[in-house]
Structure 1
């Protein structure tokens, strides 16, 4: 868990935003996958997926996809 806190602090300091907001923008709004988003943030993919699960963003992304498909 220490490494995840390190990545969280690093990203929040770099972007001057809450990590959840940053992840939501990249993962849901910009429709980027975990690999692309992790690379953009400069963190391992595993750490990005940890944060997605921690903040419960996967169900939000799936809901967003469903809305776009059904629209």
Structure 2
């Protein structure tokens, strides 16, 4: 079974450079300031490479949904 398809795994999607730059500018941070996620994490999209940034959208009891960003590392 593909772990990324499990009902408890939130949606993981790769960000394009334009969308990423908008987020980095909004928070006044660098890509390397983001929390990390290992390339071997089974929830990552197959096409994710080291250095990519993944947008993770989770359901939240307090805000409907929570969006977090992770930098893919080796």
TM-score of the two chains, using structure 1 as the length reference:
0.33
User: Which protein has the bigger helix share?
Assistant: 1
Larger RCO: Structure 1 or Structure 2 (Cα < 8 Å, ≥ 6 residues apart)? 2
User: Which protein has the bigger strand share?
Assistant: 2
TM-score of the two chains, using structure 2 as the length reference:
0.32
